[in-house]
Amino acid sequence: MIDRLLVLGTWISPVVLAVLAARVAAGHADASILVAALIAAPLLGLSIARGDDRPPAVDHSRTVVLAGAIVLVLAANFVVMGDLARVLGLHRLHGVIAAAVLALGVIAWSGGHRWWRLAPPIGAALVLLPLAAVIVTTQSPRAAWVSAAERPALTFDARSAWVTDGRAVGDRTTLTFYEAHRVVAASAASWRVVEKDAVRMATRDFQLAAGDALTLRPGDQLTLAAGTRVRFEAGRRVPGAPTSGAAWADGRRRSFLVALGTSVGIALTLAGGAHALAPAAPLLPGLRALAVPLALAAFVLGAALWGLYGAALAPDLTLTPRALAPLTEVVSRISAPPWRHLLIAAVVAGVIGVLLGTVRTCRARFREIADESGLSSRVGLGALIASVALAGGAAWWSADAWRLFAWALGIAVCGVVAPALARAGARGETIGRIAGVLAFVAVAYAGHRLTEYPAVVAAPLSWLVARLARPR
């Protein structure tokens, strides 16, 4: 029997951990909204997913939509594993392949069902254990917030690897400097500098050897190729970081309408997606029912605290915009070998554990969809294996884990939840589903010009079209 802990597999996952930690560390304006929504939305899906709201007849369009959403959920988590591999000094492709192999192992070993159910809580505990060490050895969360928010400027720490030995930028990067800064080439490379002043703008290319340096003025931009190693001066402002601690704490300024639309989009996408993707699960009696919301709240708040300590202890994280970088950077700043390696190993093991729990949830939901569609177990297994392969390809194609995750939930909202709410019958729901998915794809293709959450536009359209198409 599927237990209710399965519902948490989508949310106690690497993508949630990585996105919350990164957005809090960067002072993203949506960080506080995401924390609240990621706690409330899965609980909403848990409360209304009972297994008695299945469609009365086989609807293959609904099956395709849910299968596509599961593929995108897996792809989002594979992206995080690829970025984790880069943080550990490996190639991104190695992390994606390793995640796909682990997913296939969970799918193939059906006898490990009783063990896979323990993966999310054990993985979450391993992720939060090093966080407890950070809190004990440094300062309380409140003190960390105050110290980060009161900084007059976010500057390089003398212990930062960007200052001592130099580090390599992962992708092609353009840095804008706020003050005069002497940057040293840690390896031979070509640099492009755009010099700006009140009269003109000039572009200059430099071929530097290891140890050569350039002094950049306020407003200058430095473009570095992927893999270029550089060193910065201690005490200087971090290029690309918020101008001050107060700016980090306030987040990016937005208009009221933009903030309202984003909040509605987050709530609609997460809550609707939680209902559509939650596997059918029985109620837990007594105090065991509290274990699910407590585990979820602990994981989400722990992810946010990792980002908070990242901002307080490693303000140069903007130069390493990789998933889970706040966790590894904070651990590196507070400990020395061998404890540093042990804590990082605990983080990696925890991330793998929550990934296994996510794959188990996707496997359970996929089997439910196959049973609803009348597919044989062999065909369902083959389709699930193909979904893992498609997820690996999508993870290699896109490096934005949150976009893939939001697309997965949004497609589920537009293709499953909104048409069902219309109560328009099989034909009306199918027409509304097609219209909603097409509208979602169109808005997503338009990029972020309209909204980061296309479901806020496509879901109402899906409901309206389904209502108009219902039988008279």
pLDDT of the chain along its 472 residues, tens only? 345 556 677 888 999 999 999 989 888 888 888 898 888 887 776 666 444 444 545 677 888 899 999 999 999 999 999 989 888 888 889 999 999 999 998 888 765 566 677 788 888 899 999 999 899 888 899 999 988 888 888 888 888 888 888 888 877 888 888 888 899 998 888 888 988 776 678 888 888 888 888 888 888 888 888 888 899 998 888 888 888 888 888 766 666 677 777 888 888 899 888 888 877 665 555 555 677 778 888 999 999 999 999 888 888 888 876 678 888 888 888 877 778 888 888 999 999 999 998 898 888 888 888 877 777 777 778 888 899 999 999 998 888 899 999 999 999 999 999 998 888 888 888 899 999 999 999 888 876 556 688 888 899 999 999 988 887 6
The strands making up 229-231's β-sheet, listed across from edge to edge, are 167-168, 229-231, 181-185, 213-216
Q: Do the domain assignments include residue 108?
A: yes
**Among 357, 359, 361, 363, which residue's Cα sits nearest to residue 124?**
357
Contact of 13 with 350, CB cutoff 8 Å: no
Question: Are 236 and 252 within one domain?
Answer: no
SS3 at position 293: helix
Angle at CA of residue 215, ends 214 and 216, nearest 5° = 110
Question: Are 99 and 185 within one domain?
Answer: no
Angle at CA of residue 168, ends 164 and 174, nearest 5° = 110
Count: domains in the chain: 2
Q: What gap in Å lies between CA 429 and CA 431, rounded to an integer?
A: 5
Find tokens 């990621």 and name the residue.
38
Q: Do the domain assignments include residue 155?
A: no
SS3 at position 300: helix
Show the domain range for 211.
Answer: 161-240
Domain boundary among 213, 240, 267: 240
- H or E stretch including 210? none
SS3 at position 401: helix
Question: Are 236 and 250 within one domain?
Answer: no
Question: Are 296 and 227 within one domain?
Answer: no
Query: What's 88's DSSP letter?
Result: T
Q: Do the domain assignments include residue 152?
A: no
Question: Are 236 and 264 within one domain?
Answer: no
Question: Are 46 and 85 within one domain?
Answer: yes
Question: Are 404 and 262 within one domain?
Answer: yes
Contact of 370 with 387, CB cutoff 8 Å: no
Question: Are 139 and 117 within one domain?
Answer: yes
Domain boundary among 224, 240, 256: 240
Domain boundary among 240, 256, 271: 240
Q: What gap in Å lies between CA 38 and CA 293, rounded to an integer?
A: 11
